[in-house]
Amino acid sequence: MSKRVVLAGAAGFLGSHLAERLVQGGYTVTGLDNFHTGHAANLAGLMDNKSFSFVEHDIRLPFSANCDAVMNFACPASPPAYQANAIGTLKINFHGTLNLLGLAKAARGTFFQASTSEIYGDPELHPQTENYRGAVNPIGPRACYDEGKRVAEALTFEYRRQHKLDVKVVRIFNTYGPRMRVDDGRVVSNFIVQALLGENITVYGDGRQTRSFCYVDDLVEGIVRLFQSDPLITGPMNIGNPVEFTIGELAELVIAITGSTSKIIRRPLPEDDPRQRCPDISLARQHLDWEPKIALAEGLLKTIRYFEEVLRRSGKGQAA
Ligand code: NAD
Ligand code: UDP
């Protein structure tokens, strides 16, 4: 079993949960992050742990370390964040992934890539299976992320073909939970914060577009199972919750659970916003014996409690 893990993006939403889970599982973790969208506070529970160390580092620059595995979770994942510096996002996914593949190759370790359902673009196949090649606009405003992640997968599998590197790729579908930033910009955190502050809830477009939301603990369990699976299981493998909701339904659910007085308002649909998204998780069920356990209402409640506390501490309190 790989014991020493370099985890890039460790101060982010998913990276910090994964770092904790790996340390609890007996791994020694070196976290890398440049705090682009992550926060040191996410690592507060790990900083005194002897099995965890942290290096402030931008993965667009090379890094060297002795390790058994390299996990790449470094990349802004929220559309406003990854579009704010689109060329930077492309560099993170190309140069950054290349640097981490080089690190894994030099260390003769396993490389694990956090890929995304965005690989499928605005999909014509529904639900999406891993062999679906996707419908991505290569020159649109989401391309820096979608195409960046696609080239990261291409690099990963070329390292497997040419250098015989052990690799694994997970395609993550919309995941939410505690430690998302208040100003992250993704839909779950936006709606919860708006509801708690009594502000208008901003549904983009007609709200009939769909997403399938996975709670972070379920996702991390699937990732760890894939990471620990037989080296022949490379993925790409979908990990996500196959229960699909419209964005309008999500807004209603958040209002119902928070008891908010917020009103739903419409805002323009961003260009190339996928109309539907739902994972086919047959491969994860078959190879990892994994499926999500936390229903949306339950996961939202845990996430709402987290944001209530963050807003209370920042002095914004509850206006809803
Ligand atoms: P996040 O923005 O919270 O975390 C990304 C982390 O990467 C942050 O800590 C950020 O500071 C760090 N980072 C960004 N650029 C960096 C750089 N150049 N060098 C070092 N660190 C850098 O987002 P997240 O939701 O935790 O996503 C983590 C990974 O999972 C990303 O690769 C993302 O594409 C992937 N993913 C997430 C989701 C999801 O629903 N959360 C879905 C699909 C894929
Ligand atoms: N969305 C919305 N209001 C918001 C933020 C997002 O209606 O305040 C919509 C967005 O247009 C998309 C869906 O919610 O259809 C999911 O958006 P998110 O940015 O969370 O993730 P992604 O589009 O990358 O799946």
- Structural domains present in the chain: 4-172 (3.40.50.720)
- Quote the pLDDT of residue 310: 97
C-alpha dist (Å) from residue 313 to 182, 300, 309: 12, 20, 6
For the CA of 174, the nearest ligand: 1
- Quote the pLDDT of residue 174: 98
- Quote the pLDDT of residue 316: 83
* Helix, strand, coil fractions of the chain, as percent rounded to 5: 40, 20, 40
User: Rounded CA gap, 179 and 11, in Å?
Assistant: 10
User: Rounded CA gap, 101 and 160, in Å?
Assistant: 10
Task: Tell which atom from ligand 2 comes closest to the C-alpha of 186.
Answer: 20
Tokens of 118: 């965005």
Pocket test for ligand 2, best of 187, 190, 246 (most atoms within 8 A of CB): 187
CB 113 within 8 A of CB 160: no
**Binding site membership of 83 for ligand 2 (Cβ less than 6 Å):** no
> Which of 13, 115, 22, 28 has the alpha carbon at shortest distance from 72?
115
- At position 284, the amino acid (one-letter code) is A
Task: Tell which atom from ligand 2 comes closest to the C-alpha of 191.
Answer: 8
Instruction: Return per-residue pLDDT of the chain as tens, 320 residues.
Output: 459 999 999 999 999 999 999 999 999 999 999 999 999 999 999 999 999 999 999 999 999 999 999 999 999 999 999 999 999 999 999 999 999 999 999 999 999 999 999 999 999 999 999 999 999 999 999 999 999 999 999 999 999 999 999 999 999 999 999 999 999 999 999 999 999 999 999 999 999 999 999 999 999 999 999 999 999 999 999 999 999 999 999 999 999 999 999 999 999 999 999 999 999 999 999 999 999 999 999 999 999 999 999 999 999 865 54
**Binding site membership of 174 for ligand 1 (Cβ less than 6 Å):** yes
CB 174 within 8 A of CB 147: no
User: Rounded CA gap, 141 and 310, in Å?
Assistant: 31
CB 244 within 8 A of CB 53: no
> Which of 139, 110, 208, 222 has the alpha carbon at shortest distance from 173?
222
Closest CA to ligand 1's atom 15: 75
- Quote the pLDDT of residue 277: 98
Closest CA to ligand 1's atom 17: 58
Q: Which letter does DSSP use for residue 26 in this model?
A: T
132 included as an active-site residue = no
User: Rounded CA gap, 254 and 192, in Å?
Assistant: 6
Closest CA to ligand 1's atom 28: 73
User: Rounded CA gap, 237 and 167, in Å?
Assistant: 12
End-to-end CA distance of the chain: 49
